[in-house]
Chain A
Amino acid sequence: MALAEPISQQPIARDPASLRDPASFAPVIDLNDLCVKFGGRPILQNLRGELRGRAIGLLGPNGAGKTTLIHTLLGFHSPSSGTAHIFGQDITTDAKQIRSLVGYMPERDSYIAKMSAVRFVRLMAELSGLPSEAALERAHEALFYVGLGEARYRSLDTYSLGMKQLAKLAQAIVHGPRLIFLDEPTNGLDPPARQRMIRLVREIRDSGKANIVLSSHLLRDVEECCEEILILKEGRLAVYCNLEEERKSNRKFLLLETRGDRDKFAEAIGALGCEYAVTGDHRVKVVLQGGTEVRDIYRIASQYDVQIRRLSYKRDSLEDIFLKAMENGHGGL
């Protein structure tokens, strides 16, 4: 059988230094006012922005539109208005070319029944255009890579949930895509299996040979794997942030658990020139400024007869960013 030309490959940054800098990449995903409606009901509304990270996290509560966004980027749903580009290719006009560059691990249990894992992964590779022998070779490699090497001749019907997740990952990477969509990859996994999955995702990310879009409602998964996050709320973009930059710029703050007249105490801290925020029932967040020290905080507490039950240093976590996004509403890139 005559063989066609290989998939056109855009140059990939292979210099390790440039791999660390997301800005050196062309936009992986470029959203241009992307809207999707199902039966007149808006599911995604005016998503806009350029995503360049090696690992992009898609966050949002259930029903926020994460999976719909992935499906739209894969060409499963047509945008009602606007469009998006993946590696510069339009999702509406170049869907087939895009699909030859991407791998997809669906959220739901998806496999072909009565087939061994190696045949399943080989079939998927062949459908992606790999010749039969190369597909078989890559199927073995992919299954070894995800840790299913010993079970590769077993029928998929006999696999546990964790093994099926790994088989889904194997089929998503078997053809060596440049962009991998992982939709809730740790769903239903026990802690060791989850750790294994996260490690694999990080390894692929660190190889620099593929970008990853990881959709999850588990903040920890995204925090451990991703550099950029996109938080969706009711189909709109609530927050976009670069986690790496956020981590670098994030100032440490003091979290105080107090008893007593908290408001006056907080105002007095503010009078010292420190930023503060009152959270929860008895908690005060304080960012120390200039020459202010912890002993000053104790002094003020004593002055206002406030007990400090607990004092700890913290940074804003992804959870804080997420919760803030859920409270505030819409953000942008």
Chain B
Amino acid sequence: MSAVIHAARGGLGGRRLQAVIIGLVALAATAASTLALGMLVDSHSPFDHAFAAQHGAHVTAAVDTSVATSAQLAATTRLPGVTASAGPFATVSVTAKVSQPGIPGTRPYPLQIVGRPSAGGPVDQLTLDSGHWARGNGQIVLSRDVAGDLGSATITVGSQKLTVVGIANSVTNTAQAWVAPSEAALLGGSGRGQAQMLYRFANAGTSSAIAADIAAVRAALPHGALQDTASYLSVRQSEQSDIAPWVPFIIAFGVIALVISVFIVVNVVSGAVIAGTTRIGVLKSIGFTPAQVVASYVLLVAVPALVGCVAGAVCGNLLAIPLLKQNAQVYEVGVLGIPYWVDVAVPLAVLALTAAGAVPPALRAGRMSAVQAIATGRAPRPRHGYLAHRMLARLTSAPRAVTLGLAAPAARPARTLVTAAAIVFGAAAVTFGVGLAHSLDKAFAETSTASSLPVQVSAPPPAPPAGAPSSKGGGKVGPMGMTAAQQRTVISALAAQPGTRRYLPETDEDLSLPGLGDHVSVTAYGADPSWSGLALITGRWYSTSSNAPEVVVNTLFLTDTGTSVGSTYTVNSGGHRTTVRIVGEVFQPGNDVDIYMSPATLAAVDPGAGIQSYAVALQPGTNAQAYANALSAALGNSYSVETHSRGGTELVAVVTLIAMLTILIMIVAGLGVLNTVALQIRERAHDIGVFKAIGMTPRQTLTMIVCSVGLVGLVAGIVAVPAGVYLHHGVIPTMAHAANSGIPPSLLSVYTPWTIILLALSGLVIAVVGALGPAAWAARTRTAFALRAE
């Protein structure tokens, strides 16, 4: 055994370049695969971890206790399939008055408060972030989201002053705040009784299973008792969609890197074994058995591969840290990391792959007779490519160094094909990465008004008079509109300001709509809404002149309400209701439901809503910041003038990640070319010496070697472009779907003819850059040294 190890060690010393390439490729393959697989697994795990830890509720049900009795509710907990339950917990919906330090007056804040005796229980065990649970009347525990909004606020509901004593988190957001049951009774007053029931079911893995569970509960209660239900699957999908949009492209890059690495490993290993034929012959001549030869050769490959795999696993984990850290913090599930099985399985798989590439050529070499191997004198010359040399030699219009290079790939067609495949994947990654970056740039531009309306003017709302009604719309949050005087002032300033192109009066409201939650974002534009620059996926913008109220909504609205463009929908908020027709689907991905409507339509559901700001489009060539400064000076300190830039750091971060992954894959593909050229030079070192001896200059040598992969790179690049575009057209909709959205056609139309031509050259660039190093080395090599090469 020690002889085998010594032989392998000696072989490694003599083939440092191959060893380094094997190690680097194994590293890149392992890192990319570990990252991709780890991200894929962990994209589902944070919520699942938290849900399991908190015994989260599969279904949260709102029940009317004036219709269902306590006994009937208790009976539902004994239904077949119910494994655990909690409740009924009294629920009250109030509009609290919130006063925050440093902000004069109070502001209305809608709160759904649940009366619970404790944070624990068989279902929905709340995590207390800080403080303690409500121990009696006058105390309230806020949910993490609400606490983030309100900070250290004082909360008053009616005449009840509530002290915030703790901050808690429910994995399925079962309430915005919790109080003791006795306090809930006080807050509920004489209104109709509402309560919350929390259920866990034996069969709750799919939407249909949950629907069946809910149907069973509904059937067990009197008609109308079950008012509303929320499935944990909806929350799960919503929570995951923060990271989910990025997962498809990370996986795409990871798979590309893995496939390229497979090609390179196969090339490296078979090339290294072929190049070592003479050495194998010598080993056999001194007494090595075929098995020992095979073992020493597999070791020769396995050692650098093992080092690369281990280093790759470490790199993959390190790369995953920043991506997973945020999720871990959000869900308080400790440190999220790459699962152990991924850390073990991926390196083992890459190592097995490497060994699989090494064994067949090693077995072939093991079977070769010692005399045959030694007599070969160098790697056996292929019998391919003669015709190519003959044909290209007739091509007298091209320099001979070029035709010599162009004929070279035919000598080893299998290696050429594998190298071409690696370049195809590398160039496809470039095409995909460029398209992805352009699409994301467009996505950020088309989901924000910052590009078309870069300046926004607003005025602080007047303080509401003491004792005024807490909410006009029932669920309205945020500032009141500008006064008429303020609007006139802003309009005249905009008219007088050079550079103003047009402006769009804007109202932004958060409405609480049944079935859609408390924070449905409603935007009303007081002029042509298409000026906003927001992209439509289907349909058209609402018409302000139409008699029938029209709205444009995002995809999540359509999904959550089961509607489509052309449907009608009744907006019901705070006692006001109006039926609208959905005329367009706007591109607004994310977890928020967005509705765009005219001010007149908004007034029907929120009569108090007024213009809050003016979004300003500028004349071409106008500097937004200079314009904003001038407008601010004209309006004075009573008005706020802000500029908006689209994308910001998130876009930069994502595009940087895409660029890094693309460059990483280009480097890996370039390493594949480097390996091919290094093998080619090693095998043809003697021929190169002959070329030099008969007058080939270093420049001609360089040209010959670069051309030997240049044509392969060019063809591979041309093949790669449609592959990359196809991948792009598959991944972008997947990303959008993960972000709860469809896509506007513009997001796919990112490849211009010029872009395609340039991208088609990426294969050539990979090939040339990969070949340059070894080609330059060969060009510099002394003729006598090359001639002595075996």
Partners in one complex: no
A interface residue numbers (CB < 8 A to B): none
B interface residue numbers (CB < 8 A to A): none
